[in-house]
A and B are shown apart, each in its own frame.
Chain A
Amino acid sequence: MSMPYYVSPEQLMQDKAEYAKKGIAKGRSIIAMEYQDGVLLVADNPSTSLFKVSEIYDNIAFSGAGKYSEFENLRKAGIQHADLKGFMYSREDVTARSLANGYSQTLGTIFSQEMKPYEVEILLAQVGEHPGENELFRIAFDGTIFHERSFVAIGGRAEALLAALQKGASEPLMDLHAALNHCVKSLKSVSEQDLQPDGLEVATLDRNRLGRKFRRLLEDEFSSLLS
């Protein structure tokens, strides 16, 4: 009779966490940063059709780092959840906080119960009616939620990126031009390759827009903003 292996729960979780971290470390980075009119999202993404940043609801944006198939699944589930909630109640009742909770539960369950954890990190941004009311959430591969202020970064070089963002951060909030340049400068400082505008994905949640606040900036739009 063969003896079953015994692996302590600590060891198991540690192995899974290491595995997930390794997967995420390979991914490119994404920044969300508050600016005067809302939230700016900038991703290091050479593809022009496979997006890392996208719209979930009227004032909520989603971004995923790590394994594409996994965060794409989570993105779709989030849109379904948001649209269903908005249909059943009202559009104002859809919040990033409840979505973040949903993601946290989902990722937490997968991390503890599945053989293979998800190699993803999720970022949720919600633009508020006034500058002080924006919400930024980061959800880690094991379901841990972080409620962030001013700016947040996910992906391979997230820690270095946060340090770079911290350096130039200013109060009061920057305008779009300054915020975009600050984000791109920070991305460049942690990236090994040279970052060209065509390797960037830029979107905003702009509170001055009517209805749906999410807007993807086209390359020539944001290249002209880059100094």
Chain B
Amino acid sequence: MNWMNSTPPSYLQSSSFFDHLLQTRPELTPAARWGGSLPNPLSIDDVQRGYLASVTHGTTVLAIKYADGVVIAGDRRATEGYQLAARTMEKVFKTDSHSAMAIAGAAGPCIEMAKLFSIELEHYEKLDGVSLTCVGKANRLGQMVKANLPMVMQGLVVVPLFVGFDFKLGQGRIFKYDVTGGRYEEIDYHSIGSGGKDAKVTIKERYRRMLLEEEAIRLALQALFSAAEEDVGTGGPDMFRRIFPTMKLIDVTGVRDVEESRIASLCDELARTRAKQD
């Protein structure tokens, strides 16, 4: 095992794990899986025949800024066509000490991208001795989404929602992406996935700037509730099995999970208010 034979010389190599993977083990990257040539796109017929039914999608994940940072949350349901594939899927991932991402799209490639991206950030931090800036991380994720384009042609869409804490600005930031890797910053909140639109409408009605942490968590849950009510691909809180949405807070101190017990009691409270409304 001699590591010194790779070209270009190791001192000129980038600090990217993804690049290293492309050079040394291209078969492990989503980009090179099609031998460098674009596969035939799916036809409308394929789509109608339910070619994609066996791939899990359907989701609602969202991010809302509040006074100290940003909250990111997601439902737990994974579907395969009309079947429920998983009740307890985790769609929100911590990617490093001050950033997190949530994903919508085909489950397998989505989880792979989240894993690859967090290794990418850690790799950079270890090689260069400092973390990437918030915008640097967001741009890098965009490039990785772009590298996934051949998979999109096959219907395996991966769309992330990225949040991070920007030390320079002293606030949380939200970035959304399109399938081509386009990166767009959202000022206040955003939501993606099959129930994304429903969630967004709910947030829009109640959002104001400089929310408190508690208010932001509550608003995120309300939005996920609404999405679950309107969209079959989104799972609401499962009161029987006690399965609740997952949520992370990112502020100057770093990323932390909102405890399940706190989410559970808020969900119970929300369910009671909704029951009264009907």
Binding site for B on A (CB under 8 A): 49, 51, 54-56, 69, 72-73, 76-77, 79-81, 83-84, 86-88, 101-102, 105-106, 109-110, 212
Task: Report the 10 A-B pairs with minimum CB-CB distance, sorted nearest first.
Answer: A77-B3, A105-B1, A102-B1, A79-B126, A83-B123, A80-B20, A109-B2, A83-B17, A106-B2, A55-B126
B15 to chain A, nearest CB (A): 9
The stretch of B114-122, B143-151, B201-209 in contact with A is B114-122
Q: Is the CB of A106 within 8 A of B4?
A: yes
Q: Is the CB of A79 within 8 A of B127?
A: yes
Tell me which of A54, A79, A105 contacts B123 (CB under 8 A): A79
- The answer for the CA separation of A87 and B17 in the assembled complex, in Å, is 10
Interface residues of B in 1-48 (CB under 8 A from A): 1-4, 10-11, 13, 17, 20-21, 24-25, 28
Q: Could you tell me the dominant secondary structure of chain B's interface residues? A: helix
Q: Is the CB of B1 within 8 A of A106?
A: yes
Q: Given A51-B129, A73-B11, A79-B126, do A87 and B21 touch, yes or no (CB 8 Å)?
A: yes
Binding site for A on B (CB under 8 A): 1-4, 10-11, 13, 17, 20-21, 24-25, 28, 115-116, 119, 122-123, 126-127, 129
- The answer for the CA separation of A161 and B127 in the assembled complex, in Å, is 29
A to B CB contacts below 8 Å, 28 in the list: A49-B129, A54-B126, A54-B129, A69-B11, A73-B4, A73-B10, A76-B127, A77-B10, A79-B123, A79-B126, A79-B127, A80-B17, A80-B20, A80-B123, A81-B3, A84-B20, A84-B21, A84-B24, A86-B119, A87-B21, A87-B115, A87-B116, A87-B119, A88-B25, A102-B1, A105-B1, A106-B2, A106-B3
Q: Which partner residue on chain B sits nearest A212 by CB separation?
A: B122
Q: Is the CB of A105 within 8 A of B21?
A: no
What number of A-B contacts does a CB cutoff of 8 Å give? 57
- The answer for the CA separation of A56 and B20 in the assembled complex, in Å, is 16
- The answer for the CA separation of A51 and B128 in the assembled complex, in Å, is 11
Among A69, A77, A80, A81, max chain B CB count under 10 A is at: A80
List 9 additional contacts besides A73-B10, A87-B119, A106-B4; criterion CB under 8 Å: A73-B4, A79-B123, A80-B17, A83-B119, A84-B20, A84-B24, A86-B119, A88-B25, A106-B2
Give the chain B neighbours of A101 by CB distance below 8 A.
1
Give the chain A neighbours of B28 by CB distance below 8 A.
87-88
Q: Which partner residue on chain A sits nearest B20 by CB separation?
A: A80
Give the chain A neighbours of B129 by CB distance below 8 A.
49, 51, 54
Q: Given A81-B3, A83-B123, A109-B2, do A76 and B116 touch, yes or no (CB 8 Å)?
A: no
Q: Which partner residue on chain B sits nearest A110 by CB separation?
A: B4
Give the chain B neighbours of A88 by CB distance below 8 A.
25, 28
Q: Is the CB of A76 within 8 A of B10?
A: yes
- The answer for the CA separation of A30 and B30 in the assembled complex, in Å, is 42
B117 to chain A, nearest CB (A): 11
Give the chain B neighbours of A73 by CB distance below 8 A.
4, 10-11
Tell me which of A69, A80, A83, A109 contacts B122 (CB under 8 A): A83
Among A73, A86, A87, A109, max chain B CB count under 10 A is at: A87
- The answer for the CA separation of A84 and B119 in the assembled complex, in Å, is 9
Q: Which partner residue on chain B sits nearest A113 by CB separation?
A: B2
- The answer for the CA separation of A81 and B115 in the assembled complex, in Å, is 17
Give the chain A neighbours of B25 by CB distance below 8 A.
84, 88
- The answer for the CA separation of A105 and B3 in the assembled complex, in Å, is 9
B259 to chain A, nearest CB (A): 15
- The answer for the CA separation of A212 and B96 in the assembled complex, in Å, is 11
- The answer for the CA separation of A73 and B21 in the assembled complex, in Å, is 18
